[in-house]
Structures are given as structure tokens and as C-alpha cells.
């Protein structure tokens, strides 16, 4: 696994497991299988309602080798509620600390939530603070008012919506962009895209691997999700090849500049 140093010096794996829509025993089975084959970042959220299942699994592994991300959403939208819900995540995840806590999307109360997060960070309950789904304007406004620059902004990012401008602004200010839905959640026929297919053949890889490698190689950590163990292996096997400049250019041309999820 490769790591990215965040703005407070802690190291975040550049690839992790997304867990949206993984629930119950399937979630436990997939998270355990992923950790066993070398995933050490698990991305969850209070919204996904699977923190308990993830907690049931991670307690059987060496905690210091794992990087757990979770997110607060609208039910936590005040200082008091965020304070309460940080304890809930710690409790459900059955851990003494969370590696990265994000605000799931911009809320009117984001700064109050962030204040509660800052206190938990100072108490050693969180190792890094971040945000998610903040566009350029929302991010710049947020950092004007907060004391700790978010370590991460987790946003939609894939070959069809690369968000290079946002990445540049974030990096100028010390925040790492992390990609959610790095396969575009299979939209736009991602896995059978002819450009990705041609490049995949050249490197004897799959289209999924080319899509992940492109993001990692251009400085964006990724959190692909799969509910199939054989795909978990395929999706982490992206560290022993390098896309050349011509291929990067061809992939860059797939960027349509528009969200496929209508988030922004
Ligand atoms: N912060 C946010 O607001 C936000 C929003 C969306 C997502 N996220 C996070 O980002 C994670 C990833 O995003 P996502 O789950 O939306 O989508 P994704 O990772 O882009 O794609 C997942 C889809 O691709 C399929 N897949 C995975 N590996 C494959 C492979 N090697 N070959 C063919 N198909 C494959 C999966 O099916 P199978 O499961 O059947 O393999 C699933 O349908 C989420 O799970 C979540 O943790 C965060």
C-alpha cells in the first residue's frame, strides 16, 4: 500500500474500501476479506448504517494498521449533536479513535459541527478532520472561518468528472482531494468504455484498474467499493504499473466536466 501524508503529518492509505450499501453479514464478510488481502482504509458514514458491523470486524485486527474514516450528516447538524454523534461513532465502531472524521456535505451548521470535531481532535479521539462534497466556493468560505484546515475533501471524482480545478485549489490550501465513486458507480458504461478498454489491453489490466491507477497517479486517493471478494483483489492490484503520458492524455479527454450524480 502507498500512503499520502495529510496536512497534520498523519499518513492516509491512497486506496481504501468504500462501504456504501454494504450491510449486515455481507458487510462483515467483505470488510474482513478486504483487510485480510491488504486493504487498511475502510470508508464508512453514519448515513450508511454499517458502523456497528465494521466495528465487529475491526476489533479482531491490529487497530494501528487500520485507517477508519466516517462521516457526520444532517442529524448531527449542531455543536451539541455533533459532540454526541462523535461518541456514537466511536461506540458503534468499537474503537478509541477515528482516523478521519468528515462532514458528509455542507450544512448551514458545518462550522459548529467542526468546532465539536476540533475538540474531539484535541482530545485524541480523532486523528484528522475533513469535509466532503464541498465545492470550490463552499470550501474557500469554510476555510476562511475555521482554525484547522480540513485534511481531506472527499468528492465525486472519476474519469468522467475529474475535478482538476478543485484539486488545484484544495492543494494550494493544504487539503487532499479524495475520490468517491472512482468507478462512477458503474454509470456511463464505465467498465466497457472503449478508451479505458484499449488502454487496459495494452497494460494487461482491467478497465477498473486503469480508472483507479489514473486517479492515484494524478494525486487522488480512491475508495472503490465492491461486494465481491474477487473484485476486492482486482481493485487493490494497481501499484505495479504506471500509465504513460499518452495514455494519461487519452483518459483526461474523457472528462465531461459535469457531475454524474447531480451533487453540486
Ligand atoms: N462522501 C460521499 O458523499 C460519498 C458518496 C458516494 C460514495 N462514497 C464512498 O465512496 C465509495 C465508492 O463509491 P460507490 O460505492 O458509489 O461506487 P464505485 O466504487 O465507483 O463503484 C461501485 C460499483 O462498481 C462495481 N464494481 C466494483 N469493482 C468492480 C470491478 N472490479 N469490476 C466491475 N464492477 C466493479 C460494484 O459492484 P459490486 O459491488 O457488485 O462489485 C458497484 O456496482 C462508497 O462505497 C462510499 O464509501 C462517498
Task: Write down the pLDDT at residue 78.
Answer: 97
Cβ-contact 149, 121 below 8 angstroms: no
Ligand 1 centroid – CA 147 distance (Å): 33
Give the ligand 1 atom nearest the CA of 44. 47
In contact, 51 and 28? CB cutoff 8 Å = no
Q: How far is the CA of 64 from the centre of ligand 1 (A)?
A: 25
For ligand 1, what atom is nearest to the CA of residue 19?
A: 45
Look up the CATH number of domain 3-189+218-229. 3.20.20.100
C-alpha cell belonging to residue 153: 475533501
User: 63 alpha carbon to ligand 1 midpoint, in Å?
Assistant: 24
The pLDDT of residue 262 is above 90:
no
Active site residue 48: yes
**Residues in the ligand 1 pocket, defined by CB under 6 Å:** 18-20, 43, 104, 132-133, 154, 180-186, 191, 208, 223-228, 231, 234-235
For the chain, the average pLDDT equals 97
Å from CA of 225 to ligand 1 middle? 4
The per-residue pLDDT for 227 is: 95
Among 97, 93, 117, smallest CA distance to 107 is for 117
Q: Which residue of the set 39, 48, 121, 139 is catalytic?
A: 48
Q: Provide the percentage of residues in the chain whose pLDDT is more than 70.
A: 99
Q: Above 70 in pLDDT, residue 103?
A: yes
- Mean pLDDT within 106-122: 98
C-alpha cell at 142: 469554510
Model confidence at 19: pLDDT above 80: yes
| Ligand 1 center from residue 233 Cα (angstroms) | 14
**Residue range 158-177: average pLDDT?**
98
For residue 263, pLDDT beyond 80: no
Report residue 128's pLDDT band, with 50, 70 and 90 as the boundaries: very high
55, three cell numbers: 466495528
pLDDT at 96 over 90: yes
Q: 4 with 174: CB under 8 angstroms?
A: no
Residue nearest to atom 44 of ligand 1 (CA): 18
**What average pLDDT does range 12-26 have in this prediction?**
97
Which atom in ligand 1 lies closest to the alpha carbon of residue 231?
A: 31
Atom 35 of ligand 1, residue of closest alpha carbon: 226
DSSP readout, the chain? --EEE-TTS-EEESB-EE-TT--HHHHHHHHHHHHHHT--EEE--GGGT-HHHHHHHHTTS-GGG-EEEEEE-GGG-SHHHHHHHHHHHHHHHT-S-BSEEEESS--TTHHHHHHHHHHHHHTTSBS-EEEES--HHHHHHHHHH-SS--SEEEEE-BTTB--HHHHHHHHHTT-EEEEESTTGGGGGGGGG-HHHHHHHHHHT--HHHHHHHHHHHTT--B----S-HHHHHHHH--SS----HHHHHHHHTT--SS-SS---
Which of 29-38, 68-77, 169-178, 254-263 bottoms out in mean pLDDT, i.e. has the lowest? 254-263
pLDDT at 225: 98
Q: What is the pLDDT of residue 82?
A: 98
Measured by CA distance, the residue closest to atom 10 of ligand 1 is: 180
Tell me which residue has its CA closest to atom 16 in ligand 1. Answer: 181
* Nearest atom of ligand 1 to the alpha carbon of 225: 19
The CA distance from 147 to 203, in Å, is 45
> Comparing C-alpha atoms, which of 182, 106, 99, 174 is closest to residue 141?
106
Q: pLDDT tens across 26-41, in order?
A: 999 999 999 999 999 9
Q: Whose CA is nearest to atom 4 of ligand 1?
A: 180
Cα 9 to ligand 1 centroid, rounded to whole Å: 28
The pLDDT tens digits for 225-244 are 999 999 999 999 999 999 99
Residue that the C-alpha cell 479505458 belongs to: 196
Report the pLDDT value the prediction gives residue 264, as an integer from 0 to 100: 58
Amino acid at each position: 500500500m502507498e500512503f499520502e501524508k495529510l496536512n497534520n503529518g498523519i499518513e492516509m492509505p491512497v486506496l481504501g474500501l468504500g462501504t456504501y450499501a454494504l450491510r449486515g453479514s455481507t458487510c462483515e464478510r467483505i470488510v474482513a476479506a478486504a483487510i485480510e488481502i491488504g486493504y487498511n482504509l475502510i470508508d464508512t458514514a453514519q448515513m450508511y448504517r454499517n458502523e456497528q458491523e465494521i466495528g465487529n470486524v475491526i476489533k479482531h485486527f491490529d487497530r494501528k494498521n487500520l485507517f477508519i474514516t466516517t462521516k457526520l450528516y444532517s442529524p448531527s447538524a449542531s455543536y451539541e449533536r455533533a459532540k454526541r454523534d462523535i461518541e456514537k461513532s466511536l461506540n458503534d465502531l468499537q474503537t478509541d479513535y477515528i482516523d478521519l472524521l468528515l462532514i458528509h456535505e455542507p450544512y448551514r451548521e458545518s462550522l459548529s459541527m467542526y468546532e465539536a470535531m476540533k475538540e474531539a481532535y484535541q482530545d485524541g479521539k480523532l486523528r484528522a478532520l475533513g469535509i466532503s462534497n464541498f465545492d470550490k466556493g463552499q470550501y474557500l468560505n469554510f476555510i476562511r472561518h475555521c482554525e484547522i484546515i480540513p485534511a481531506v475533501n472527499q468528492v465525486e471524482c472519476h474519469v468522467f468528472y475529474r475535478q482538476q480545478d478543485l484539486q488545484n485549489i484544495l492543494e494550494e490550501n493544504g487539503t487532499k482531494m479524495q475520490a468517491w465513486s472512482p468507478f462512477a458507480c458503474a454509470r456511463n458504461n464505465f467498465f466497457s468504455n472503449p478508451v479505458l478498454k484499449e488502454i487496459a489491453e495494452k497494460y494487461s489490466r482491467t478497465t477498473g484498474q486503469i480508472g483507479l491507477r489514473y486517479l492515484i497517479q494524478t494525486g487522488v486517493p480512491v475508495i472503490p467499493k465492491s461486494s465481491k471478494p474477487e473484485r476486492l483483489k482486482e481493485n487493490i492490484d494497481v501499484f505495479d504499473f504506471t500509465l504513460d503520458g499518452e495514455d494519461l492524455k487519452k483518459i483526461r479527454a474523457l472528462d465531461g466536466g459535469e457531475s454524474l450524480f447531480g451533487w453540486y
